[in-house]
A and B are shown apart, each in its own frame.
Chain A
Amino acid sequence: MLHQFRTAEGDVEVTVAKQGDVWQLGQHQATVEDDGRLSIRLANGTKGYATTAKVGDVWWVHFQGHTFCLERIEPGASQSGDEGGLVAPMPGKVLEVLVDVGQSVEGGQTLMVLEAMKMEHRILASNAGQITGIHFSAGEQVQQGSVLLEMVEDEA
């Protein structure tokens, strides 16, 4: 699975693959423990547990006495999914729906505003297109991954 993170040194793309219970990133390995921690073995032999927590879009990671702050660049927020469904990047509440079914929208336009961890999060259209479905209204709770809206992108 591909994820993008924003770090102090710039954006990083990370692709992790799973074989059985073991996740791999190149020669590094990780397994998820029952208590939610990660057991990590790096290519150089370093072994240890990592504790993680997500606050807003940011993954906080404690590993080997260091604490890291990695902001995940949410695909739901910056680009539409393959089938034109826009998904909630995190659990939260719909604050505002800014479009109607049938409406034409431009790339970058804000379609919906979510609130999660007391932070506002905007759902944007990545390209121009037309809204074909809206599945939630203001005030409703959404789970992470819920399809919020459907849209058909204009032919380029």
Chain B
Amino acid sequence: MVSKVLVANRGEIACRILRACREAGLASVAIFAENDSKSLFVELADQAVQLQGDSITSTYLNQEQILKIAATTGCDAVHPGFGFLSERADFARAVTQAGIQWIGPSPSAIERMGDKMTARKTMRDAGVPVIPGEEIEQEDEHEALLAIEQASTRVGYPLLLKASSGGGGKGMRAVERPEDLLAAAQSARREALAAFGDGRVYLERMLTGSKHVEIQILADRHGRTIHLGERECSVQRRHQKVFEEAPCATMTEEIRSAMGKAAVAAAMAVHYEGAGTVEFLLAPTGEFFFLEMNTRIQVEHPVTELVTGVDIVREQLRIAAGEPMSCGDLNLRGHAIEVRLYAEDASNNFLPAIGPLAVFQPPEGPGIRLDTGVRQGDEVTPNYDPMLAKLIVWAPSRIEALQRMRRALDEFVVLGTTTNLRFLRELCDVPDVIEGSTDTTMIDRLWPNGWSASIPVELEDGALMAAAVSESSGLHRQVHSNAQVSDQSGPVSPFMTLSRRYP
């Protein structure tokens, strides 16, 4: 039984989960740091409790404080969202031990997938293809470096060194030539040790020209483990996804079925429960290799929801309550694309931007979904992740989905804070994107020296005129002070403005 859910997250994903709770008839509790007290997600919860502390560590990562709030508010379930504590096995264990339902897989499943070397071995044993490579078990620096050198001759170049506890590109090094190996291995181990307290690294052959394709899976306690098809997320910038779609443009029925089977086998190997994602590299040959498993809801889950008709967060709640999942057989329909709107200056090396959201007008119309944690009037601060929103479109075909995304991005108005809107819009016109032949190196290949917007001169004229006319007409005085409407002559009777009469 689940009746009251604490959402241990913030921003966009907290909004997503809180809305799902409302729809499911579950009570909800939001937790928020002081600088989030005016954030949208706080409003969407039945109850909101402020976290004490002024750093992320002392607030959203503070397990003890969050558990205390769950207990005092009478929550019987915790949804961790993504990021923050979502893949912390110790937190999942603490929640479970407190008699509260963890909305996610077991702590041991999180552990076995979280340690990448263990995950590789588990997958190999389950018959899931992994990227050719070798794990290095040696803890001692000297022995480890020696083992890495020996393994490198078997793995071959170019190769990747990856931290076993890694994520987000930390402790990861690409090595092109044998003479660079030693220095790369030392710095990868150093970085991994500093970031994760674990310097172990492993080797993988670098598979160039591959697509990043991931399979969404769901597993309940009633013996069902299913997959919901794939998402392609090849368009990445420094391992950060920016453009995601479902289905993958080059997918065949045979490959989907094989990848789906492998993903289900991966989940069953760790007795998985809830929603999870198994990431693969898909080579141009049609061969695919296990990359890692994310044991949580994923940022790009909406594209799968739109093409399968499955509400993944709602299923998470159902599964956690011990009910069987409600979805039937996989039935893919149409095409969905998601882009991530970031507060960043794409033309200045994607530096994060801050400022007020003086205007925030998302596009509307058929086939458009916006998942966001902000609204007009909010301030973008440097305190958290710069992702403002996910814009997701659905259309009957991939071509139409791209056309719809172009239209939606053209309609999207964000003023006061610099965003990557134009970058996303131009991505939709890149031939590789149109043809669906994207791979993980596309952005670096297309814009090796950084991206900059190409703006037609006459539009610049139009913008200058708009600014000059706005200034001359005093628009800034009207727009920013709604209070002025009523300050003409003291108190105004509300009845005077009524033009309708009853009966």
Could you list which residues of chain A lie within 8 angstroms of chain B, going by C-beta atoms? 1, 3, 5, 7, 12, 14-16, 18, 23, 25, 28, 30, 32, 36, 38, 40, 42-44, 46, 48, 50-55, 59-70, 72, 90-91, 117, 143-144
User: A12 CA to B358 CA in the complex, in Å?
Assistant: 24
**B residues less than 8 Å from A32 (CB atoms):** 469, 473, 475
User: Contacts of B358 on A, CB cut-off 8 Å?
Assistant: 53-55, 60
Known: A36-B475, A53-B479, A66-B463. A59 touches B458 (CB 8 A): no
Taken together as a complex, chains A and B put the C-alpha atoms of A30 and B473 apart, in Å, by 12
Partner among A14, A69, A144 whose Cβ is within 8 Å of the Cβ of B476: A144
Of B2-10, B90-98, B407-415, B431-439, the one touching chain A: B407-415
B285 CB, nearest partner CB in chain A, Å = 39
**Which parts of B88-139 form the interface with A (CB within 8 Å)?**
none
Do residues A70 and B463 form an inter-chain contact, with CB atoms below 8 A? Answer: yes
- Chain A positions within 8 Å of B355 at CB level: 55
Q: A52-B415, A143-B477 are in contact. List 11 more A-B contacts (CB 8 A).
A: A7-B464, A32-B473, A51-B361, A60-B359, A61-B463, A61-B470, A62-B415, A64-B410, A66-B455, A67-B414, A68-B467
Bits for B336-360, please: 1 = Cβ < 8 Å to A, else 0.
Answer: 0000000000000000000110110
Within 8 Å by CB of A70, from B455, B467, B476, lies B467
**In the bound complex, do residue A117 and residue B465 qualify as a contact, i.e. CB atoms below 8 Å apart?**
no
- Interface pair B468/A64, CB less than 8 Å apart: no
CB contacts (< 8 Å) of A18 on chain B: these are: 472
Q: Is the CB of B469 within 8 A of A70?
A: no
Picked from B415, B459, B476, the residue with its CB within 8 Å of the CB of A64 is B459
CA distance A90 to B467 in the complex (A): 15
Stretch of B29-37, B224-232, B417-425, B491-499 that contacts chain A = B417-425
Q: Known: A64-B459, A65-B425. Contact between A25 and B468, CB under 8 A? A: yes
Residues of B within 8 A of A143 (CB): 477
Partner of A65, one of B409, B464, B466, B480: B409
B480 to chain A minimum Cβ distance, whole angstroms, is 8
By beta carbon, the residue of chain B nearest A3 is B468
Q: When chains A and B are docked, how far (Å) is the Cα of A144 from the Cα of B479?
A: 13
Q: A52-B475, A65-B409 are in contact. Are A59 and B462 (CB under 8 A)?
A: no
The SS class assigned to the A binding surface is: strand
Assembly CA distance A15 to B464 (angstroms): 10
Number of interface residues, chain B, beta carbon within 8 A: 43
**A25 with B470: in contact, given A52-B415, A53-B476 (CB under 8 Å)?**
no
- The closest CB in chain A to the CB of B464 belongs to A14
Question: Is B486 in the interface zone, CB < 8 Å from A?
Answer: no
Give the distance to chain B from A28, nearest Cβ to Cβ, in Å.
5
Contact A51 to B459, CB < 8 A, known contacts A23-B469, A40-B465:
no
Contacts of A117 in B (CB 8 A): 356
Bound-state Cα–Cα, A63 to B478, Å: 20
CA distance A60 to B419 in the complex (A): 12
Q: Are A61 and B477 in contact (CB under 8 A)?
A: no
- B331 surroundings in chain A (CB, below 8 A): none
Q: Known: A55-B355, A55-B356. Contact between A66 and B475, CB under 8 A? A: no
Q: How far is the CA of A44 from the CA of B464 in the complex (A)?
A: 16
Which chain B residues lie closer than 8 Å to A52 at the CB level?
415, 466-467, 470, 475
Residues A44 and B458 in contact, CB atoms below 8 Å apart: yes
Cβ 8 A contact of B477, one of A15, A43, A50, A91: A91
- Contact in complex: A51, B413 (CB < 8 Å): yes
Give the shortest distance, in Å, between B255 (CB) and chain A (any CB).
Answer: 36
Contact B467 A30 (CB under 8 A): no
- Contact present for B463 and A63 (CB under 8 Å): yes
Given A43-B458, A144-B477, are A66 and B472 neighbors across the interface (CB < 8 Å)? no
**Chain B residues closer than 8 Å to A28, beta-carbon distance:** 461-462, 465
> Could you give 26 example pairs across A and B, Cβ below 8 Å?
A1-B468, A1-B471, A5-B468, A14-B468, A15-B468, A16-B469, A30-B466, A32-B469, A38-B470, A43-B458, A54-B475, A54-B479, A55-B355, A55-B356, A55-B416, A59-B471, A61-B463, A63-B463, A65-B422, A66-B455, A67-B414, A67-B421, A91-B477, A91-B480, A91-B481, A143-B477
